[in-house]
Structure 1
Amino acid sequence: MSTTVKVIEHTVQQGDSPYKIALKYNTTENAIMKANPWIKDPKNLPIGSLVKIPVKPASGNAARGPVKPASEVIEHTVQQGDSPYKIALTYNTTESAIMKANPWIKDPKNLPIGSLVKIPVKPASGNASRGPVNVLPGFCEYRVQIKNVKVPDTFWGIAHKFQINQATLKKANPKINTNALQDGSALLIPIAEVPKPSEHIGISWKNTHQIVWNFFRKKEFSATATAGIMANLQQESEMDPTKKQYGGGPGRGLCQWEIGARWDQLLKYAWSQGKLPSALDTQLEYLWKELTELKETRWIRNFLDDYGGIGNLKKMNTYQAVIAFEESFERAGDPAYPRRFAYADQIYQKFASGVERARA
């Protein structure tokens, strides 16, 4: 006997999107779009409009709206070089969650090869946030950008950003039409497939690293999110506020703001405040203004909204924070994600004390 697919209706609220609605009703974004062919712009659903939700009830019971999913546990077989921190990154969770689920671990630096580590996974639920909190174990989320960008995303281009082949990316996203990507749609990035640089990438530690770390932590960013953001800054400027782009390019300062655009706006801000543009504290203050309030950089917040906004950025895991900050704030031509991931690992391990790791 076949199970009938039932349809319920959702009234669109401020900030709703097909992705957010799908999370709320424990279904998929693709199912929402298929059931509502009238949706042409997923980012601008008319408030008050009705969206059909296809629901396949369990055991013949009618769906009653949002479902609260239970936590799940999966198991990971320890490999050479594994640690609770490394395993947490792979499965998009936290080191403290791994330790709590595995009280038998006494020496995190020496896990027995072949032993089983329990991974607590909380599936995406009906939260208001749209962003990538525990999307799927072992994955991070990338939001496709087609509109309002100089170079629209392509499937090949996204694979290249992470230095993985297209077949690997397709396997992680089997329902995606690689020739017709939709603006704002989500692709899952299999983190274990992203190659780490063959040689150790060293960081020349400076006092500026500690200052930047403290700045974001005081803004209530988790240790993992702070490490992810700092990895981007390390890649751009080596945490040097006086840095000029190699080869005479237009990039300047901590974030490599471009002359003739954002760097000029930073200069105006610094002069209006009687501060040195090259000072680290000036650049951090301006970075924060760009991220949170300046009208001229509203586009940054628009891109960040695809990842759940700054509130979600504050609690992201390390690799997800690398992606979200790069794709909204930095927007490098070639982000070289494997290098940024490697920097994030080192920064986290350098600055996250035992207390901070428990909060990450």
Structure 2
Amino acid sequence: MAKEGYVVAVCGATGAVGRTMLEVLEQRDFPASKVIALASERSAGKKVPFKGGELTVEVLNEYSFEGVDLALFSAGGSTSKTFAPLAAKAGCVVVDNSSAWRMDPECPLVVPEVNPHDLEWHKGIIANPNCSTIQMMVALKPIHDAAKIKRVVVSTYQAVSGTGQKAIDELAGQVTMMFNGQVEDIEPSAYPHRIAFNCLPHIDIFMDNDYTREEMKMVHETTKIMGDESIKVTATAVRVPVFYGHSESINIETELKLSAKECRALLTQAPGVQVLDNPAEQIYPMPIEAQGQDATYVGRIREDETIANGLNIWVVSDNIRKGAATNTVQIAEKLIEMDLVRVP
């Protein structure tokens, strides 16, 4: 039986995603009787805004989860590896935003619009997918259900906020320096090369197959979320000089024929999707429109004329909200709806 109010802990509450989690909890009127802000010792005592007031940040430790129903983690993979099992052992259900648990066979990897049924087998820890994977899954699920996807070729154009505040500051600083003629003084630190007025086909580390880890996350997470190992995915992930909002160009091959008109109609009815698709009026999704929003925006819907059953779509979403904080909170909402706020 669902309770009237839940004790919720936000771990990593002083970071960009943690702060946004608090905003989303407030904006969605999450049924919390108490919200606890947790972070490392260096952030202890800081104040974070919540519901017109402030929460005092407490130190995250092994005793932080006594009496807590739900813990939303965005404090990095090593922190999640250490504290998520302790939280689950204390009877708290964890929704983790790091990559630590995503491919663990014991942990569901969930996008609520796509595979909420996977929450039924959770054992205390649920993983939030990679930001670029989330928005792609929201857009692809209706297409897969209607025509069965065989292959996906995706190129991402990802905002610097995906790297964190240091990258946001670096882009802003480099733009200022370039406008002031200080190009020679730019020394990149967040990235291996200058990001201002540039594109870097390099997100995360390179693997032995010459793909980056970011690209392989999209490959492996797609099949786990969709529950279909037959879907083939290849990805190229690019960092672009945009502050917020990831964009993706997605080429899809399906088993059954799906016209652009049929695809557009499907996506118009899909949960979490907003279709912006009128090229004649220059209407298509852009990061500046997605910033601060929770929807996944889809446009440039058209048939791939080089194959029998092919589509091209353009997908944009706010990587900090739907790509991280909002999806995490939506998972928590779905756990409540399904009466699964309990550790087996």
Give TM-score scaled by structure 1 length.
0.27
Larger proportion of strand? 2
Larger proportion of helix? 1
Give TM-score scaled by structure 2 length.
0.28
